[in-house]
Amino acid sequence: MIKFHKAGCDFMNLISISQHLHTEFVGRDVEYYESISSTNNRAKEIAEQKLEGTVIIAEEQTQGKGRLSRKWVSPKGKGLWFSIILKPNLEPDKVYKITLIGAAAVNEALKEMGIKSSIKWPNDIIIEGKKVCGVLTEMSCEKNRVKYVVMGIGINVNLELEDFDTELKKKATSLKVMTGKEIDRSRLLACVLNHMERLYIPFKEKGILVDTIRICKEESILIGKEVRIIKGDVERVGNVIDIDDEGQLVVEYEDSQIEKILSGEVSIRGMEGYI
Ligand code: BT5
């Protein structure tokens, strides 16, 4: 059973979501909007009153956001713009691991739907060098414990290239553009939620992240590549040699120094263009 709070109506189809959803708690309470500023913001407003696994989803976001207050383009009826409320018993400095669970879940869901993609640690899903999905994890904490985490996921499902401005066209794409086919958003949503819960439960219950890390490594677009790491004003070039068991990116610099990087601390660009 899914509890569906619906304002307005569109083809985001409850029956189709239910048919494909196999979760215990993720996506069992869904708040749906035709238009909203940002599903992450709405999720944060209601997180304390809601059960873990509640999903906020919108056809359109007028102020969709990325990390560091960047803008996330979220046009109407073409994407999956949603947020999941989570309540892990966790220290705030471990929350970065939840972003990796989100990225791994999306990658697995795309694979299940026959679409080959890669993970650009920590929060992007890439197809042929272009971004089709981003994950934004936000949290509220008290006394060094997490009160709630909001995991926001944006997937460019049926967007056309014209939905992106000239700058974004160079680095963003959609599943429809890449596959030439319209994708069933309801099925893809259910698929992401299924994988998300499968990967999240062992982490929540026992801190186990093995499957998530395996997926992030196997599907990594960064391991073995030379990258530029930007931290504030400082930029360094290094080689990505691994993602460790804690989900940190392991980078070796030209002077053989090795650094482990936590998600959220850095921006990474490929040597040529974006990836
Ligand atoms: C992200 O940030 O990739 C996280 C995006 C999270 C979006 C979801 S949608 C549901 C939920 N509610 C929200 O308000 N947000 C979350 P970041 O790594 O900082 O990447 C942001 C950058 O990606 C922007 O600066 C643009 O360059 C680019 N970008 C913007 N919109 C895009 C899109 N639709 N597809 C691909 N790239 C985009």
Tens-digit pLDDT profile for residues 3-54:
766 654 444 667 778 889 999 999 999 999 999 999 999 999 999 999 999 9
Q: State the pLDDT at residue 115.
A: 98
Name the residue with the closest Cα to ligand 1, atom 33. 73
**CA–CA distance, 162 with 85 (Å, rounded to integer):** 32
- Nearest atom (ligand 1) to Cα of 70: 25
- Residues 256-270: tens digit of each pLDDT: 999 999 865 556 665
* 122 burial type by CB count under 10 A (0-12 exposed, 13-18 middle, 19+ buried): buried
Q: State the pLDDT at residue 273.
A: 52
In short, whether 164's Cβ falls inside 6 Å of ligand 1 is no
Helical spans, DSSP H, in the chain: 14-20, 39-46, 96-112, 166-169, 175-179, 185-206, 210-218
**CA–CA distance, 176 with 46 (Å, rounded to integer):** 33
- Residues 128-186: tens digit of each pLDDT: 989 999 999 999 999 999 999 999 999 999 999 999 999 999 999 999 999 999 999 99
What does the DSSP 8-state code read for residue 131?
E
Q: Which sign, positive or negative, has the C-alpha torsion 5, 137, 101, 200?
A: negative
**CA–CA distance, 60 with 163 (Å, rounded to integer):** 13
Residue 168 C-alpha to ligand 1 middle, in angstroms? 11
Higher pLDDT among residues 244 and 17, named by residue: 244
- Nearest atom (ligand 1) to Cα of 153: 8
Q: State the pLDDT at residue 226.
A: 87
Residue 170 CA, chain-centre distance (Å), reads: 20
Q: Hey, what are 264's tokens?
A: 């959220």
- Residues 206-221: tens digit of each pLDDT: 999 999 999 999 999 9
Pocket of ligand 1, candidates 37, 72, 128: which has the most ligand atoms within 8 Å of its Cβ, to mutate? 72
Q: State the pLDDT at residue 274.
A: 45
In short, whether 81's Cβ falls inside 6 Å of ligand 1 is yes
Is the per-residue pLDDT at 271 higher than 50? Answer: no
Name the residue with the closest Cα to ligand 1, atom 19. 67
Is the per-residue pLDDT at 100 higher than 60? Answer: yes
Residue 113 C-alpha to ligand 1 middle, in angstroms? 22
In short, whether 27's Cβ falls inside 6 Å of ligand 1 is no
- List, as one string, the DSSP characters of 136-153: EEEEEEETTEEEEEEEEE
Would you say the pTM of this structure is higher than 0.85? yes
Residue 70 C-alpha to ligand 1 middle, in angstroms? 7
* Residue closest to 11 by CA, chosen among 181, 187, 160: 187
Is the per-residue pLDDT at 199 higher than 60? Answer: yes
